[in-house]
Amino acid sequence: VRSRCVLQKQVKIKTAAPAWRKEDRADQIYRIAAEIMCQKGYEATSMNDIADAVGLTKAGIYHYIRGKEHLLFEIMTYAMDMVDQDVIKPAKAVADAEERLRTIVSRHSKRILEVGGAVTILLEETSALTPPHRRTVRARKRAYFDLVRETLENLQAEGKLRAVNPTVAAFSLFGQILWISRWYRRDGTVAATDAAQDILEIAVNGVLQPTVGS
Amino acid sequence: VRSRCVLQKQVKIKTAAPAWRKEDRADQIYRIAAEIMCQKGYEATSMNDIADAVGLTKAGIYHYIRGKEHLLFEIMTYAMDMVDQDVIKPAKAVADAEERLRTIVSRHSKRILEVGGAVTILLEETSALTPPHRRTVRARKRAYFDLVRETLENLQAEGKLRAVNPTVAAFSLFGQILWISRWYRRDGTVAATDAAQDILEIAVNGVLQPTVGS
């Protein structure tokens, strides 16, 4: 077991789930495959390992996924789609830069705290992708980074950012948020809602100028 | 090349360095081996890859290191010895908690910014270690974490910590510091000294209550 991969309570799935839509079943496979790849390492994980874990035959799993590299890309796409939907889209709808920053930190932290970090950790495994897949993943990551940095630049223009480089500040925020995937245990002593509140407090105050009386 | 491993300008070492002490030569091997393991992944790196990179024959490299697992443990020990010497020991000599926190953040950030992140990233590969080596590494990491958390608890007792859980705050600080290994490029646009200053500002103000007039 890789120490960088926190063992979460495994989501139990039924081996026979005839009423499930193919998409829901695929989501379950992504999550479980992500946990296994995260624990064993991508290279060391076989399609058999994944089929076993989700309770399918090796033939059965090919109904849902085309192969290991494609599965990795699908997991990353799934993870980034979730971030698009839960973090980026709501954040872009917020006109005020400070509120937009709070939306990003709060929503992204909560996702990792509640959903678990395996898919987040797997997003670093871009070396295993084919070049076109790698370009797609990198472009999407870059677009998200740019949103955070631009938000910090907006805050700078408003005089609300501390005297720091927005690029360094953006990486500092990503470090705090993405590192949750390394340490948070859902069955540990810190409740997800408490952790989310503390991370928001620490991350936002780290980059923003203190306001009078705060 | 793993995206999580930033390609740094390779330290050039001479293949014939007869005047070097064995310890200095070993340090060079650790750094170069760490870069290679970080880029290719630990599993995919062979002793031949390492021998080639440092300009030694496969027989020659066994003069310095006993084998791949032992090399990984040696690299981790080397990395943790450096942190002990450059960060933990100086920090423990500081009685004031706020100054101790600043010492930790500042000294550890500078190490990663100046020395490069490969050895830092390799510290996560504890799964590849033998159980006794793994216990040693984990105990040392834990002791460092406890120092940071205790420092935050001291600050809490002094009324200087924001209203956050010291455990969450400690992980938040580690996230910011350790993430430097993922993004910082020594040949990029941000100077190491500027990045260090910004990271200190962001990290410390994230966890500390604002002081009057700050």
Range from A184-193, B33-42, B120-129, B144-153 that averages highest in pLDDT: B144-153
Considering Cα of A152, then A182, then B134, then B69, what sign does the dihedral take? Answer: negative
Least Cα distance to B22 among B74, B86, B72 occurs for B74
CA distance B68 to chain A (A): 17
Interchain pair B126, A169: CB under 8 A: no
- Predicted local confidence at residue A117, as pLDDT: 82
Whether residue B10 is predicted with pLDDT greater than 80 in this model: the reply is: no
Q: Tell me what pLDDT residue B4 has.
A: 56
Helix axes A47-54, A22-40, angle to 10 degrees: 120
Q: Tell me the average pLDDT across B202-208.
A: 98
- Write out chain B residues lying below 8 Å of A108, CB-based: none
What is the pLDDT, as a whole number, of residue B24?
72
Q: Do A127 and B165 touch (CB under 8 A)?
A: no
Percentage above 90 pLDDT, chain B = 59
Q: Inspect the interface and report whether the beta carbons of A180 and B183 lie closer than 8 Å.
A: no
Give first-to-last CA distance, chain B, whole Å: 44
Span of A170-184, B61-75, B191-205 with lowest mean pLDDT: B61-75
For range A46-75, the mean pLDDT: 88
Q: Which pLDDT belongs to residue A29?
A: 85
Give pLDDT, residue B207: 98
| Tokens found for residue B115 | 């020395």
Residues in A lying within 8 Å of B, measured between beta carbons: 1-4, 41, 43-44, 124-127, 138, 162-165, 167-169, 171-172, 174-180, 182-184, 190, 194-195, 198-199, 201-203, 205-207, 210, 214
C-beta of residue B181 within 8 angstroms of C-beta of residue B112: yes
**What SS3 class is residue A122?**
helix
Please name the member of B172, B178, B198 whose beta carbon is closest to the beta carbon of A199.
B172
How long is chain B? Answer: 214
Question: Residue range A128-137: average pLDDT?
Answer: 94
> What pLDDT is attached to residue B159?
97
Residue A3 has its nearest CB partner, among B124, B178, B184, at: B124
Give yes or no for residue A46 having a pLDDT over 50: yes
Residue B85 has pLDDT above 80, yes or no: yes
Least confident interval from A2-11, A16-25, B115-124, B128-137: A2-11
